Amino acid sequence: MWKQLYEMVRQLLTLTRETQENKSEIKDLRQELRRLSEVVQRLAYEIHRVSEVNEHQHEKTKLWLENQLLKLDKRLPPPREDSDKEMD
């Protein structure tokens, strides 16, 4: 009987210690999860910002190219009328 009682007390102490360790680990994991959530939110924001910057840069490049093409069109001499006749 004493042996059973001793074994039960030992198990109770072991379970109590393990429970406290688990609580501590859970607390640490929750803190880490909060930090990771903050990092993910910052990354999502940065990705969004980079996307916006890329979109604006793309639009600027497109407008620049259109501008260059318009300038080039103005520099080209008008087509000669006799070149059209030669093709017929």
Q: Average the pLDDT over 7-16 and give the result.
A: 96
Q: pTM (2 decimals)?
A: 0.58
Distances (CA, A) of 86 to 70, 77, 81: 28, 18, 9
Place 15 in a pLDDT band, splitting at 50, 70 and 90. very high
Res. 32: pLDDT tops 70: yes
Domain boundaries, the chain: 16-72
In this prediction, residue 86 carries a pLDDT of 57
CA distances, 46 to each of 51, 54, 84 (Å):
8, 12, 56
Angle at 47 between CA 44 and CA 49, to 5 degrees: 110
Helix, strand, coil in percent for the chain, rounding step 5: 90, 0, 10
